[in-house]
């Protein structure tokens, strides 16, 4: 029986922007070889995307039918919920430094150590909730570095809306954007409860009006991995398609 499972390597990476060590979980697919170029998926909430989302298994299944490009996943786990909020929440204390880390340190590191396309369309940022928020913000700030984004139930506030309004080249990005119809009272890390549906619909209207290349869907479900995991095959099939 042929091998159908790739491998996940854990790497410790020092970030000058964050002044701290960052753990990277790097998934290399079955039959990985540096002779072939790979698209890179950079996942916020990295451990969750492997353990709860089974992202690597989804990639393996889609690759078996040649639906998607050869893909490496680089997951970035958060240390704890406070660390996550400081890095992912718009304008929080480590938010700008984390975005700089993604663009100025992580992307070059991946290009130096793995066979990548070394272009924006060859890099996908993915995240759930606040992870989707920081992924989208990073791509808006560095569209030539990150050309594709998957946002699963992102938190949307005025900062996010303003960045999208002011973005100069909507055609530079390709977006996949979903929200659950039951996400009307989501308990946030800071204890507040927010409606995610209304702001996400407003964001979609803005993106559509500004002619962003965006795929938007609403699923029947709430703000949990049960639904994000179910959505992953569609998300990867869309954003990594070879068609």
Question: Quick check: is 2 in a domain?
Answer: no
**Alpha carbon 163 to its chain's center:** 17
User: 3-class SS at 7?
Assistant: strand
- pLDDT tens string 128-167: 999 999 999 999 999 999 999 999 999 999 999 999 999 9
Domain that holds residue 214: 7-239
Confidence of residue 118 (pLDDT cuts 50, 70, 90): very high
Question: Quick check: is 49 in a domain?
Answer: yes
Q: What is the pLDDT of residue 188?
A: 86
The CATH number linked to 200 is 3.40.50.1820
Question: Quick check: is 92 in a domain?
Answer: yes
Query: Which tops the pLDDT comparison, 2 or 107?
Result: 107
What does the block give as tokens for 41? 């998926």
CA distance 141 to 124: 14
For CA atoms 190, 146, 202, 183, the dihedral sign is: negative
Question: Quick check: is 99 in a domain?
Answer: yes
Confidence of residue 2 (pLDDT cuts 50, 70, 90): very low
Question: Quick check: is 1 in a domain?
Answer: no
Q: How many domains does the chain have?
A: 1
Percentage above 70 pLDDT, the chain: 98
- pLDDT tens string 17-40: 999 999 999 999 998 999 999 999
């Amino acid at each position: 029986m042929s091998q159908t499972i790739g491998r996940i390597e854990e790497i410790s990476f020092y970030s000058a922007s964050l002044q701290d060590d960052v753990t990277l979980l790097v998934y290399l697919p079955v039959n990985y070889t540096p002779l072939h170029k790979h698209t890179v998926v950079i996942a916020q909430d990295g451990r969750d995307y492997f353990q709860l989302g089974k992202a690597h298994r989804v990639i393996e299944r889609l690759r078996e039918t040649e639906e998607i490009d050869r893909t490496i996943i680089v997951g970035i786990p958060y240390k704890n919920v406070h660390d996550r909020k400081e890095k992912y929440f718009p304008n929080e204390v480590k938010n700008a430094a984390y975005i700089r880390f993604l663009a100025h340190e992580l992307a070059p590191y991946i290009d130096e150590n793995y066979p990548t396309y070394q272009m924006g369309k060859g890099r996908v940022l993915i995240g759930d909730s606040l992870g989707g928020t920081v992924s989208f913000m990073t791509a808006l700030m560095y569209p030539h570095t990150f050309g594709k984004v998957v946002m699963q139930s992102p938190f949307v506030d005025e900062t996010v809306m303003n960045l999208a309004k002011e973005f100069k080249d909507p055609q530079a990005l390709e977006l996949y954007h979903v929200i659950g119809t039951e996400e009307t009272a989501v308990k946030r890390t800071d204890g507040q409860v927010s409606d995610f549906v209304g702001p996400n619909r407003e964001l979609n209207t803005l993106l559509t009006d500004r002619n962003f290349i965006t795929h938007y869907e609403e699923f029947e479900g709430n703000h949990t991995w049960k639904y994000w995991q179910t959505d992953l095959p569609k998300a990867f099939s869309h954003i990594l398609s070879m068609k």
